[in-house]
Chains A and B, each alone.
Chain A
Amino acid sequence: MNDITCKTKITPKKIVGIDLGSREVKIIVTEEKKIVLRKKISTVSFYRDYCQYQNKIIVDLKKLGIEDVDLAVSTGYGRNNTDLSMFKPINEIKAHVYGALAQSGKKDFILLDIGGQDVKIVKIEKGLATDLDLNDKCAASCGRYLENMANVLEVPLDSLSNYSKDPVKLNSTCAVFSESELIGKIAEGIPLDRLAAGINYSMYSRLRPLLTKFRGNTLVVSGGVAKNRSIVEYLKSDYTEVEVLEDPQFNGAIGCCYYGEKFI
């Protein structure tokens, strides 16, 4: 290997990072360390419309509007999903940690990633993951819960997230039972703002037991639910500093690019 290729390999120009989520696929392209493309596609459509299968999954990057990449890195929910041809697969936790390191510029924090179907909490010390917990068996503390409850209330997810005051008490610990409990509260004539706040608060209170094992001063929040302003407000009472990443949903994909940039 001569010097030139060695250098270009160490700092590649164009990197594509793909995070294969359980419900959405997130794609980031970076050029010279800057994000030049963000793309979100439903997981079903990604596999159906942009992939072919020949022993391995082959992604049609051209069709996605991405060309001439130097490096491709993927991560995703469950290892098998990440095994795309020509892509370097990396562990999901690692991808999210690298995303958060790149986006926050911090080296010591607790990362809370709340996705559509799972929650990850990772403690990061000196830039390395030192503790973690995953909750992928219960829907009551992840994005799907909020979506379902917003549907029951017939309000858009985004406006649901505005309500935090005087939450109505929802006792059920189960996502399915919560729906009927909520309908009961609607029937009692409780106003919408209190119902919406109740949903946000119940989600927060289910995250709390997971978080108590991860005490610290700084919390960094990523994943779709990071967009919920009320939950973030509630979290602020438990940490000195709560930072919501700028691109919370793309954090895993950004982490893939960061990995490609730094380590390949």
Chain B
Amino acid sequence: MKKIGLTTTVPIEVLLAAGYTPIDLNNIFVVSKDYGKYIEKAERDGFPKSMCAWIKGIYGACIENGIEEVLGVTEGDCSNTKTLLEIFKKNNIKIHSFGYPHSHSLDDIKNELDKLMKYMGVSYEEVESQRDRLNLIREKAKYIDALTLEGKATGFENHILQLCFSDFDGDVERYSNFLDEKIEEINKRPIDKKGLKLGYLGIPPMQGDLHDYVEVLDGRFIYNEVQREFAFPRAMESKDIYEQYYNYTYTYDIDFRLEDIKKQIKERKLDAVIHYTQAFCHRAVEDIILKQELNIPILTIEGDKSNVLDARTKLRIEAFLDMLKDKKQRDYAKNRLEIINE
């Protein structure tokens, strides 16, 4: 089967129906031992220093791994992808594009999907049958998410297992089986409820040690916003492929995204959220809105090229969580005192 590189989560059902093996370039970049080399490769080829490391990593990973075809998202995700596709073209890579329409109207989304289906030469029925197959697996992600809330799966597992839904780790059946094994293993664990309930907002981090670092400090991410979206938790309730991609939050306007974030914060009773931004990424500006709109403590951290947390970021997380613990303890004591006084 022919490999096709992806720049972010796309309607994978269409690609599978067309007989492709989708590969999320982000994932091969970030988990690679060579992640630094991929960035370097991009910089040597002329990518500016002042450009986000993800774009450079995707570029390096694509070229170095000999990927010959790429589907890039040119609307709703990264403003740099358009140019990236042009560079790919110059490198004799076959390119396709897909857009999550800014209008966020169902008609426009349908239009985009129909265009993609036609282009890939697949029928609506074929796509829907792929959707049915994937939705069963997507239910497993929901289950893992529930296991995280319960205190069995770690924040990192929640992050990585959902993250891989963008390309089902390159092999749908294998990934599905892997999830079964994982679920069985996680289910056997005792419940471990850490003190602080945290949420993670924003694109997945460059640093692979963040999730474990908060656990050292008695915190746990029990909500990973974008990673959860990659796994499409509402797919089963969506009546067709169009609605499923309409309900996807992160590529549309921030208000739509916020609706679900607010709901999750409330339902999961989070104590605070950490918002991740990427150096040189336009999305960092969204931090202003998140801080205005969310009535919960927010710590914003930034990543650049390194795949581990730097000392200053660690110190910031430590100070924030330390004070948060005090606050939580006080709120708890206050409540208790009120109960006693009643």
A91 touches B326 (CB 8 A): no
Partner of A132, one of B298, B315, B326: B315
A129's nearest neighbour on chain B, judged by CB, is B319
A86 smallest CB distance to B (angstroms): 20
Q: Interface extent on B, as a size class?
A: 20 to 34
Which residues of A (117-153) have their CB < 8 Å from a CB of B? 122, 125-133
Whole-angstrom CA separation of A97 from B324 in the bound complex = 13
B72-111 interface bits toward A, Cβ cutoff 8 Å, 1 = contact, 0 = none: 0000000000000000000000000000000000000000
**A-B contacts, CB under 8 A, total:** 52
A25 at the interface (CB under 8 A from B): no
Q: Is A68 an interface residue (CB 8 A)?
A: no
> Can you list the 10 inter-chain pairs with the closest CB atoms, starting with the nearest?
A129-B319, A263-B326, A128-B323, A128-B297, A130-B299, A93-B319, A126-B297, A3-B340, A263-B330, A262-B330
Pair B298/A97 contact, Cβ less than 8 Å: no
- A263 to chain B: which residues have CB within 8 Å? 326, 329-330
CB distance from B293 to the nearest CB of A (A): 13
A residues at B contact (CB < 8 Å): 3, 6-7, 10, 91, 93-94, 97, 122, 125-133, 259, 262-263
Closest residue of chain B to A122 (Cβ to Cβ) is B319
Residues of B near A10 (CB, < 8 A) are 333, 337
Q: How far is the CB of A47 from chain B (nearest CB, A)?
A: 27
Pair B320/A129 contact, Cβ less than 8 Å: yes
- Contact flag A131-B316 (CB < 8 Å), given A97-B323, A125-B297: yes
State which residues 292-342 of B face A: CB under 8 Å.
Answer: 297-300, 312, 315-316, 319-320, 322-324, 326-327, 329-330, 333, 336-337, 340
Of all chain A residues, the one with the shortest Cβ separation from B321 is A128
| A101, closest chain B residue (CB) | B323
* Contacts A/B (CB < 8 Å), 28 sampled: A3-B340, A6-B336, A7-B337, A10-B333, A91-B319, A91-B322, A93-B319, A97-B323, A122-B319, A125-B291, A126-B297, A126-B298, A127-B327, A128-B299, A128-B323, A128-B324, A129-B319, A129-B323, A130-B298, A130-B299, A131-B316, A132-B315, A133-B312, A259-B326, A262-B326, A263-B326, A263-B329, A263-B330
Q: List residues of chain A with CB within 8 A of the CB of B315.
A: 132
The answer to whether A94 and B340 touch across the interface, beta carbons within 8 angstroms, is no
Task: Tell whether, in the assembled complex, residue A7 and residue B340 are in contact, meaning their CB atoms are under 8 Å apart.
Answer: yes
Judge whether A130 and B316 touch: CB under 8 Å. yes
CA distance A13 to B336 in the complex (A): 19
State in angstroms the CA–CA spacing of A127 and B329 once bound together: 15
- What residues on A are CB-neighbors of B324 within 8 Å? 128
Beta-carbon nearest neighbor of B334 in chain A: A10
Given A10-B333, A125-B297, 14 new contacts (CB under 8 A): A6-B340, A94-B319, A94-B323, A125-B298, A128-B320, A128-B323, A128-B324, A129-B319, A129-B320, A130-B298, A132-B316, A132-B319, A262-B330, A263-B330
